[in-house]
Structure 1
Amino acid sequence: MARLQTISEGEIQQMSSVLQSRVVTEVVAQVQSMLGQRQSATLDIAVTGESGSGKSTFINAFRGIADDDDDPRAAKTGVTETTQEIIAYDHPTAPTVRLWDLPGIGTPTFQPQRYLEDVGLTKYDFFIIVASERFRECHVTLASCVAQAGKKFYFVRNKVDNDLEASARRRGHMGLSEEAVLREIRDNCKAGLQRIGAGQPQVFLLSCFQPQRFDFALLHETLERELEGHKRHVFLLALPNLTAAVLERKQQALAGSVWQTAMAACLSAAMPGGAVHSSVPMLMSTLQSFQRSFGLDTNSLLRLANMTGKSSQELYGEVRSTSGRDLSRQTVEGMLSQVALGQQVLSALLESRIPVLGNIISGGVSFMASYSLLKSAIKDLREDAERVMHRALDGADNTREDVPDPGYFYAD
């Protein structure tokens, strides 16, 4: 009968090292895959409508970019149709979200079925049909074809601020309230769309020059609610900060993935030869992405200043957190070290007796520090973003174009 062999301490250490190395490598790959799937999710939004309806202005407003012919990132706008071909515009802080400016509809040669084939119907997640001044037969026809093809559409009635001003001039003596005028516009659009038999159509009344008014926030909320999975996540983070509710939902969405980032940092530190501070580059990249999601990075603040007529210095003055103002490698290292310091003795003791547990505890220090840092940063950045939002929207300089009588009661 064979005698049971004794395993030496050195062999135990070697086996533990190999075992941990393999397990950590597999888990790191899984966690990084989860993070990668969420970050790389794409969302393609088709924006179509008549010439002069404000498609390009809508795209700029959605992306938080001012209408500026000198800005290469802005969709080109004008009184006449400026979109003669399909152009994709990436979101400045969420590049996997793309808005596609499609050629105008409503011309005598417009054929909806051929139009949808030419623009590549299947590659878009949904359509936004933009109209202004009046509801037309071409809107019904296009919406019907989009619905029949199994794609969702959302109907945007743009330039309602101009409609209100024109109606006040034309019918001021009747004493119609703003609410009554907007209700008539909405009901007119719904009545036209109901002819396609798609149930209760969704109509949103907007002013792209005053996104904080009317239905812009409602449109964002509806799109977010009806998207699923990772597409919903990237869409939410691309939303402009128009309400405190949007900021709260961003905070919740970012907080939901904190454990994954902290775990990846933890396991990197737990790898043989790893150290707590090896997680710093990953944490720095994550914190910078949080800044962009809350619109607090330098480029986002400059765009917001350009949109609202405020100075970037004035907006930056509302950013008060360390994560927003003083994000540096030294800051991150200091916070990680502060948490790790209190557990150094326990970590060293366990590592000397049980090497595997020692490595895991070292990773645990990194996990707790990373998790605490990221959760705290999200909260602080959300508070910064809310102050910036209130400052930006307080008396914002919203330039509007003048239009004639809207004539929204009529359809061709």
Structure 2
Amino acid sequence: MDIKEEWVILEEIKEALQNSDQSRAAENIQKYLNKVENIPLNIAITGETGSGKSTFVNAFRGIDKEDDGAAPTGVVETTMEVTPYPHPNYPNVTLWDLPGIGTDSFPAEQYLEHVGFEKFDFFIIICDTRFRENDVKLAQEIQKMGKKFYFVRSKIDNDVYNEKRSQREFNEETTLAQIREDCIKGLQKLGVKAPQVFLVSSFDLHLYDFRLLEETLERELPEHKRNALLFSMPNVSLEIINKKKKALKSKIKYYATLSAAVAAVPIPGISLVVDIGVIVGVSTKYVFAFGLDVPSLKKRSQTTGVPYEDLMDVILSPLAAKKITTDLIIKVVQSVGTTVASMATEEGCRFIPILGIRLAMAFSFTSTYNILSTFLDILADDAQRVFKKTLGLNTSV
């Protein structure tokens, strides 16, 4: 869905609400939310054989090479054809592992035609030593076709480790600056003007330049694709967690409005059922967005070496690391007295002549909005505590 289409749907929602057409408003809100959450994002990962493309694909998706659906990795070319790898939690986001450029099967001159360049939103060109002529040829062809590309220098952790062992007076920042400058000069010699190179370790995404890469991609993507990228990103910084929280917060008003629209239906009890259903679905999205589901937490424990139990110790929300069910939501909501009172008042308002339905709608909007805001705040705080715990930092937020 592009910006124009989004604007049209939002105008239809506004018009329906102004005309008190709650049914049409609810239908358009649901259509809007479905479209927003299913915007496709296709990311091409390419480079020469053995540069670490498949490892990057797995790291970006938050999975290990041993997991089901992982891209196969190895020291020789393991990608023999264009292979899609959907994100495990956001299937609208797909990373495409492309064959190494310059192989006999995929010569540089015919590479883009072979891989079907038109379906990709942008290209990430990866190398593990120096970018070569084939990489530059590819970048130039991508540019001619109006697509974005980004140079990623992989396996930086290996370089830092080797330099640290070989130098008496090792300085990490100096080493990183030298690697970056060497890559930039090499690309300039091959004809790339003002190249930007991101230094990345697929095993330690929170280090080096991955955060800068994320910021650059987000800035240069079309607006309607940015959230798709953001939610699929692993939580490698507190800033990404806060960005996710802000993006999720902006959608709460639509869920609350949907709840209010259903409250206009003059059937006792139906609004409460729908409210709880909405809260269950949205809360589940929050848990996955912040990586607080059990598989994500276990994966984070494995990759960081922090025991799973230690991560669980810093989590305060009763929704994290659990399957979100109606019974669980009702139990948690009941612990918030004012919210329960608001939902009960909503049902009571239905029996008030003339203004009853309008009052019920107002209470429905308020209670749903407040519940989702509260859940979002708590889960975002938990995500920050988990992130800090994995870095050995103070976990107070």
Q: TM-score, normalised by structure 2?
A: 0.86
Query: Does the C-alpha gap of structure 1 residues 60 and 194 become closer, same or farther in structure 2, counting only changes over 3 Å?
Result: same
What is the aligned length? 368
> For residues 268-316 of structure 1, what are the alpha-carbon distances to aligned partners after superposition, in whole Å with 9 as ceiling and x for unaligned?
1222323333321121011001100000012221222232233333322
Q: For the Cα contact (< 8 Å) 2:252–2:373, is it kept in 1?
A: yes
Shift of 1:37: 1.6
Query: Match for residue 185 of structure 1?
Result: 179
Query: Match for residue 389 of structure 1?
Result: 387
Q: For the Cα contact (< 8 Å) 1:65–1:304, is it kept in 2?
A: no
Query: Match for residue 343 of structure 2?
Result: 340
Query: Does the C-alpha gap of structure 1 residues 275 and 206 become closer, same or farther in structure 2, counting only changes over 3 Å?
Result: closer
For structure 2, the 5+ residue unaligned runs are: 1-16
Q: Percent identity?
A: 39
Whether 2:209 is the aligned partner of 1:215: answer yes
Q: TM-score, normalised by structure 1?
A: 0.83
Give, as a single letter, the amino acid of the residue that structure 2 aligns with 1:258.
I
Alignment of 1:118-267 (within 5 A): 118-170=114-166, 172=167, 175=169, 177-194=171-188, 199-267=193-261
> For residues 72-113 of structure 1, what are the alpha-carbon distances to aligned partners after superposition, in whole Å with 9 as ceiling and x for unaligned?
122111111111111111112211111000001233675324
Shift of 1:190: 1.8
Query: Match for residue 8 of structure 1?
Result: none
Give, as a single letter, the amino acid of the residue that structure 2 aligns with 1:88.
P
User: What is the distance in 2 between the residues matched to 1:179 and 1:317?
Assistant: 34
User: What is the distance in 2 between the residues matched to 1:344 and 1:103?
Assistant: 60
Query: Match for residue 307 of structure 1?
Result: 303
Question: What is the CA RMSD across the aligned residues, in angstroms?
Answer: 2.4
Query: Match for residue 3 of structure 1?
Result: none
Alignment of 1:5-20 (within 5 A): none
Query: Does the C-alpha gap of structure 1 residues 196 and 257 become closer, same or farther in structure 2, counting only changes over 3 Å?
Result: farther
User: What is the distance in 2 between the residues matched to 1:89 and 1:370?
Assistant: 35
User: What is the distance in 2 between the residues matched to 1:108 and 1:166?
Assistant: 32
User: What is the distance in 2 between the residues matched to 1:40 and 1:196?
Assistant: 39
Query: Does the C-alpha gap of structure 1 residues 234 and 332 become closer, same or farther in structure 2, counting only changes over 3 Å?
Result: farther
> For residues 100-135 of structure 1, what are the alpha-carbon distances to aligned partners after superposition, in whole Å with 9 as ceiling and x for unaligned?
000012336753241111110000000000100223
For structure 1, the 5+ residue unaligned runs are: 1-18, 396-412
> Higher RCO, 1 or 2 (CA under 8 Å, sep at least 6)?
1
Q: Could you tell me which of 287, 290, 297 is aligned with 1:291?
A: 287
Which structure has the greater CA radius of gyration? 1
User: What is the distance in 2 between the residues matched to 1:226 and 1:300?
Assistant: 28
Query: Match for residue 11 of structure 1?
Result: none
Q: For the Cα contact (< 8 Å) 1:112–1:145, is it kept in 2?
A: no
User: What is the distance in 2 between the residues matched to 1:180 and 1:106?
Assistant: 32
Shift of 1:240: 1.0
Query: Match for residue 59 of structure 2?
Result: 61
Query: Match for residue 330 of structure 1?
Result: 330
User: What is the distance in 2 between the residues matched to 1:343 and 1:42?
Assistant: 38
User: What is the distance in 2 between the residues matched to 1:48 and 1:185?
Assistant: 20
